[in-house]
Amino acid sequence: MEEAVRVQDVLSGSLDGKEVLVRGWLQNKRSSGGIIFLFIRDGSEVVQCTVRKGEVDAKVFDLFLSTRVESSVEIEGEVKPDPRARGGREVVVHSGKIDSAALEEFPIAKQFQGPDFLLDKR
């Protein structure tokens, strides 16, 4: 895989069924059992990327399980339509890496915070 695609192109449907490289920042993530949902932002849009235990190398699964929000990442995987995903498509992850890890957990990513808290963190 050589050139990264823009997230808006993934969501357009023109890349369905194709292997892609997506580069961006981890905006949010959630996990449940053997699946991790990564929400990757690249400046054009946000795409859901799904990492399934047993379908990727165990090191890749553990890497994304421990990756902090706002880390810079590269994801390689297949674009698939999924009406449950934001934008109607997801990238099923086959491999990936961290380009630059966030040094600490982003303090406002997990829950709603009021204006006073947000002003203190700017």
DSSP-derived 3-state class of residue 98: strand
How far is the C-alpha of 7 from the C-alpha of 12, rounded, in Å?
A: 9
Give domain status of residue 1, yes or no: no
Give domain status of residue 25, yes or no: yes
Is 46 in contact with 69 (CB distance < 8 Å)?
no
Q: What is the pTM of this model?
A: 0.83
Give domain status of residue 69, yes or no: yes
Domain total in the chain: 1
Give domain status of residue 85, yes or no: yes
Give domain status of residue 100, yes or no: yes
What string of pLDDT tens digits covers the 122 residues of the chain? Answer: 579 999 999 999 999 999 999 999 999 999 998 999 999 999 999 999 999 999 999 999 999 999 999 999 999 999 999 999 989 999 999 999 999 988 877 665 555 556 776 677 66
CATH number of the domain bearing residue 11:
2.40.50.140
Is 39 in contact with 28 (CB distance < 8 Å)?
yes
Give domain status of residue 27, yes or no: yes
In sequence order, the 6+-apart residues with CB closer than 8 A to the CB of 100 are 71, 72
Give domain status of residue 63, yes or no: yes
Q: Which domain holds residue 77?
A: 7-120
Give domain status of residue 83, yes or no: yes
In sequence order, the 6+-apart residues with CB closer than 8 A to the CB of 71 are 25, 26, 98, 99, 100, 101, 102
